[in-house]
């Protein structure tokens, strides 16, 4: 039986939307699965009705402008999924000179070549009465029709990796510089070129692609050329570590179990979960490679133990009780407190404001008109 919390006969629950910026602590290693530690630097609730990409851009800017953090005025690479490949996020973080955004593009996106000064002069000759501004966008290219592209890449590289299933493959990366996307929703994008990457995984013996779909990445920022193509690939590989944090936070740290209609209380709970995860990171220094009895045959566990790598967040949490009991217990002992007065007779509680539920709308396919 569905719980009709919103209009319609669908079992849809009501929740909050929040944005998390994490610090990936995994180092790429050949053939070894290192624990996916991703330390949450900031967790904030997205205000009602506000664009999430603009909100995340401001959240990233606040972290980069914080003088107390080690990333202040240092080269920083931020990796994001295709949901943030919009002008709202890109334009609002483009002024950070030391920030490089590596964002995945969906295969149905269109990109344009940025015209050179010579091409702009030739294009101007076709204008009537020589009026108007210089053209910036050149030929349009569709990512899902790569076979029809008529210009070569600016840079290309190949390197070998070993997948978690033990299979060796070759990563083929092709790069095009000075690519553009269109301005949308009042956000100016004509002065923000980027580097486009086409990534394929090839079989080491036959050279046949392992996957049907090609991964497209876009590298943004004034310092985008300071990292190599291989570094761009490994940087995006670290993006998936934040999914491990969400999974561990929900299953082990009760991230989504605290239910409250008060946004301030929920924001405080996010800070509690964030502090608990950082406490696990600090506790790993005294934790060893211990696991449950049925987990000792796991290949990843054996590889981490033989290579003396870091322990996982779950392994640290299993040992946190013994670690905390080794400390001085005086600060943890219960203390006598004066009970509060509570509500008094005649107190009137303010009613909470009611907000409409925001729902994602499905894009309707345009129906072609039949010609008679």
Q: Are 246 and 274 part of one and the same domain?
A: no
Pick the last residue of a domain from 321, 338, 366: 321
Q: Residue 336: how many CB atoms within 10 A of its CB?
A: 4
**Residue 222 CB partners (closer than 8 Å, separation 6+):** 94, 97
Q: Are 225 and 130 part of one and the same domain?
A: yes
Q: Are 172 and 297 part of one and the same domain?
A: no
Give backbone dihedrals phi and psi of 49, rounded to 5 degrees, phi first. Answer: 80, 0
Q: At what angle do helices 263-283 and 241-251 cross, to 10 degrees?
A: 110
In this predicted structure, what is the pLDDT of residue 292? 79
Q: Are 277 and 311 part of one and the same domain?
A: yes
The tens digit of pLDDT for each residue in 336-361 reads 888 888 889 999 988 888 877 777 66
The tens digit of pLDDT for each residue in 70-121 reads 999 999 999 999 999 999 999 999 999 999 999 999 999 999 999 888 888 8
Pick the last residue of a domain from 293, 321, 349: 321
In this predicted structure, what is the pLDDT of residue 370? 43
Residue 124: pLDDT band with limits 50, 70, 90: confident
Count of structural domains, the chain: 2
The tens digit of pLDDT for each residue in 258-306 reads 988 888 999 999 999 999 999 999 999 888 888 778 878 887 777 777 7
Total H helices, total E strands in the chain: 8, 10
Cα gap 246→38, rounded to integer Å: 10
For residues 241 and 135, the answer to whether their CB atoms sit within 8 Å is: no
Structure tokens at 200: 């394929």
- Is 298 part of a structural domain of the chain? yes
Structure tokens at 8: 């319609």
Residue 142: pLDDT band with limits 50, 70, 90: very high
Give backbone dihedrals phi and psi of 29, rounded to 5 degrees, phi first. Answer: -130, 145
Pick the last residue of a domain from 321, 338, 365: 321
Structure tokens at 183: 């301005």
Domain with 310 in it: 263-321
């Amino acid at each position: 039986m569905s719980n009709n919390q919103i209009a319609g006969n669908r079992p849809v629950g009501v929740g909050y939307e929040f944005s998390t910026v994490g610090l990936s602590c995994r180092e790429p290693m050949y053939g070894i699965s290192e624990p996916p530690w991703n330390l949450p630097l900031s967790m904030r609730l997205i205000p009602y009705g506000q664009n999430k990409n603009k909100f995340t851009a401001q959240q990233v800017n606040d972290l980069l402008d914080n003088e107390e953090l080690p990333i202040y005025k240092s080269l920083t690479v931020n990796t994001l999924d295709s949901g943030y490949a919009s002008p709202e996020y890109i334009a609002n973080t483009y002024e950070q000179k030391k920030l490089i955004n590596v964002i995945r593009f969906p295969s149905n996106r269109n990109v344009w070549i940025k015209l050179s000064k010579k091409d702009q002069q030739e294009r101007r000759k076709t204008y009537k009465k020589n009026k108007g501004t210089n053209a910036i966008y050149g030929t349009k290219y569709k990512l899902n029709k790569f076979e029809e592209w008529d210009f070569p890449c600016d840079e290309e590289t190949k390197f070998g990796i070993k997948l978690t299933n033990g299979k060796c493959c070759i990563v083929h990366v092709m790069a095009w510089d000075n690519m553009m996307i269109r301005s949308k929703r009042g956000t100016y994008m004509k002065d923000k070129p980027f580097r486009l990457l086409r990534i394929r995984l090839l079989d080491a013996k036959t050279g046949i692609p392992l996957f049907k779909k090609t991964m497209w990445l876009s590298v943004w920022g004034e310092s985008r050329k300071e990292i190599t193509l291989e570094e761009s690939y490994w940087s995006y590989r670290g993006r998936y570590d934040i999914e491990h944090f969400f999974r561990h936070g929900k299953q082990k740290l009760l991230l989504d179990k605290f239910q409250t209609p008060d946004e301030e209380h929920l924001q405080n709970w996010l800070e509690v979960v964030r502090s608990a995860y950082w406490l696990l990171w600090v506790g790993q220094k005294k934790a060893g490679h211990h696991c449950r009895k049925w987990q000792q045959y796991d290949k990843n566990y054996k590889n981490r133990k033989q290579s003396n790598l870091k322990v996982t967040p779950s392994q640290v949490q299993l040992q946190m009780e013994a670690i905390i009991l080794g400390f001085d217990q005086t600060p943890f002992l219960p203390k006598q407190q004066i009970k509060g007065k509570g509500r008094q007779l005649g107190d009137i509680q303010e009613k909470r404001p009611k907000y409409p539920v925001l729902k994602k709308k499905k894009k309707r396919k345009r129906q072609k008109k039949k010609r008679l």
